[in-house]
Every structure is written in C-alpha cells, then in structure tokens.
Amino acid sequence: MAYAMQQLINGISLGMIYGLIAVGYTMVYGIIGMINFAHGDVFMIGAFIALITLLLLQMGGLMDGPAAILLVLLVSMVITALYGWSVERVAYRPLRGSFRLAPLISAIGISIVLQNYVQVSQGARPKPIENLLPGGIEVMRDGPFVVQFSYIQMLIIALTLGVLAAFTLLVTRTPLGRAMRACEQDRKMASLLGIDTDRTISLTFVIGAALAAVAGSMYLLRYGVIDFYIGFLAGVKAFTAAVLGGIGSLPGAVLGGLLIGLIETFWSAYFSVQYKDVAAFSILVLTLIFLPTGLLGRQEVEKV
C-alpha cells in the first residue's frame, strides 16, 4: 500500500508536467488545426534557459531557494515565449495558406534546428544540478519504507494547478480568450468581424511556449538533469496525452497528461521499466479504437 501511494504521488507530479506541455499542443491545434511538432523542443529550450539562469544566480551569489526558483521561472517563461513567437513567424505564418503538409514539415525542421542548436551551444552531455528544495513531508510509513511527498513535487502540483487556473480565466474571461475561441470556431469569419487573427495566433504560440517553459523548469527541478534530447521524448508523450484526452480540449490535455504520467510510473514500478513507453502508447491505441476523439474530445460536425 505504501509503495503504491508513493508511485501515485510520483505519477501525478510527472503527469502535471506532461499536462502543461500537452496544453500547448491542444491550443495550437484548436486555433489553426495543425500540430506544432516543435513544441517539445520549446519545452527543452525552457529547461535549458532555467538551468542557465539558475547557474548565473548561483555564480553571482545573488539569491537561493524559493526566490531563485521564482526568478528562474519568470526568466524562462519570457525568453521561451520569444522562441514560441519566432516558431510561429518562421515556420507557420508564411505557410498558413499552403497545403496542410507544408507547416507540418516546417515544424519538424524547426524541431531539428532547435535540437542541434542546443547540442552545439550547450554540448551533448547531460547537465545535472543539485536539489534546490530538499526534503519533504512524510505521508505514511510501512515498516522501513517511507512514503514522502517532496517539496519539489508539492511545488510542481501547486504551480501547475495555479498556472492552469490562470490560463482558464484568460481563455474564458478576457478579450484575448474570446478572440482565441472565435478563431477556433471560424478563423475567416473572426477576421471579417475585426479580430486580428495573426496577433491572436501569435499570442497563442507565446502562451503555449510560456507554459512549456514552466514544464521545462519543473522537469529540471524535479529530476535534476537535462540534455538536448529531452524535448523529443517529452514532446511525443505530451502529444500522446493531448490525443488521449481529446485533441482540442484543454481539460482533456491535462487529464491525458495525468493518465500518461500514472501509467508510465506504475508500469515502471511493477513491471519492466524498459516497456513503460509501450504501455502508455498501447493504452492510447486502445482508447482511440473505442473513443476516436479521445476521452473528452467532441465529435466535429460538418456544416453544409
């Protein structure tokens, strides 16, 4: 029981990270109907920016602990958002009126460019850091085994829930959110009604990149090591989470992230860790066989 409880805590914290990345996928798909395959590498960029900022703060002896984590998050979000804006301007906007495969190929190209850019500039070796928030709360004890809810895991869950709540308010209660929902329903009609669709799409990429930066920073703090290739694996799993929950559904993206995180963690704990990805993708295949639109996806109605 205690071992299962520990895996549940681990799976929820990992699923929150996947959910944050998956929200970026589902936002872009909801507005322009295409998958941003460079989004996983934007997550990786956010993690490296957080690492560089943290090392600079430690070298300068400026601050440490929670204050440093807050500043690292803000810097990572701002700079990564600029990367997200650049991806939209370079890979998507010039090809928006082209055939559907063109932006997809362009996004894959941007993904490869970002990977190699980080590999050349930061090196191919993994980059470790020390734990900034050691310790945690003892949840329960079963003989020598102690179930611990670490401070980093608390931070990941609380921060993710806070960011998602703020993002939900943005989408549902602000003029930008109304513009985003209008573009999702009918981009051409939204443009005819005076909505700046280019600006709305650019801001969608910016917000998605900022959420990916939060996920990248939390990944760095939780696991303590990153490399230039983490964006590919995390991006594929987050895309799987978005499809599992229902591509285009924001609650579905978070639910899918939690499910993927839990499946991966429990499979690693009780079965072979080498096949954890096979287990997650198998669940995705089974779900799509019986629920083609995902768990919370809506069936699209073609108007004639």
pLDDT tens per residue across span 16-30: 999 999 988 888 888
Q: Which domain holds residue 186?
A: 2-290
Evaluate if residue 42 carries a pLDDT over 80: yes
Interaxial angle between packed helices 250-270 and 2-32, expressed in degrees from 0 to 180 and rounded to the nearest 10: 150
* CATH number of the CATH domain containing 246: 1.10.3470
Q: What is the mean pLDDT of the chain?
A: 87
Q: Is residue 304 part of a domain?
A: no
Does the residue 303 lie in any domain? Answer: no
pLDDT, greater one: 292 or 223 = 223
pLDDT tens across 193-235, in order?
A: 888 988 999 999 999 999 999 999 999 999 989 999 899 888 8
Count how many domains the chain has: 1
> How much of the chain exceeds pLDDT 90, in percent?
34
157-163 contacts at long range (C-beta below 8 A, 24 or more positions apart): 157/12, 157/13, 157/16, 159/73, 159/214, 159/218, 160/16, 160/17, 160/19, 160/20, 160/214, 160/218, 161/16, 163/20, 163/211, 163/214
For residue 166, name the pLDDT band (cuts at 50, 70, 90). Answer: confident
Residue 298 has pLDDT above 70, yes or no: no
What average pLDDT does the segment 64-88 reach? 89
Contact 161, 254 (CB under 8 A): no
Band of the pLDDT at 262, cuts 50, 70, 90?
very high
Residue 161 pLDDT > 70: yes
| 174: in domain | yes
DSSP 88: I
Domain-embedded: residue 181? yes
- Which tokens in the block code for residue 261? 């995180």
- pLDDT tens for each residue of 233-242: 888 889 888 8
d(CA 210, CA 70): 14
Per-residue pLDDT tens over the stretch 131-147: 888 888 888 887 788 88
Asked whether residue 101 is domain-assigned, the answer is yes
Beta-carbon contacts of residue 79 (< 8 Å; ≥ 6 apart): 49, 213
Tell me, what's the pLDDT at 216?
A: 93
Residues 76-99 have a mean pLDDT of: 89
Q: Answer whether residue 63 shows pLDDT above 70.
A: no
Structural domain contains residue 113: yes
Among the ranges given (156-170, 197-211, 284-298), the one the predictor scored with the smallest mean pLDDT: 284-298
How sure is the predictor about 115, in pLDDT bands with cuts at 50, 70 and 90? very high
* pTM over the 0.75 mark: yes
Domain assignment of residue 298, yes or no: no
The strand pairing partners of 138, in sequence order, are 148
Strand-pairing partners, residue 142, are: 145
Phi first, then psi: give them for residue 294, nearest 5 degrees: 90, 180
* 270: pLDDT strictly greater than 60: yes
**Confidence band of 300 (pLDDT split at 50, 70, 90):** low
Please say if the pLDDT value at position 46 is more than 70: yes
| DSSP state string for 122-159 | H-SS-EE---SS--EEEEEEETTEEEEEEHHHHHHHHH
* Cα(153)–Cα(222) distance, integer angstroms: 7
**Can you give the pLDDT at residue 302?**
53
Radius of gyration of the chain (CA): 20
* pLDDT score at 290: 84
Query: Which 3 state secondary structure label does DSSP give 98?
Result: coil
Examine residue 48 and state whether it is found in any structural domain, yes or no: yes
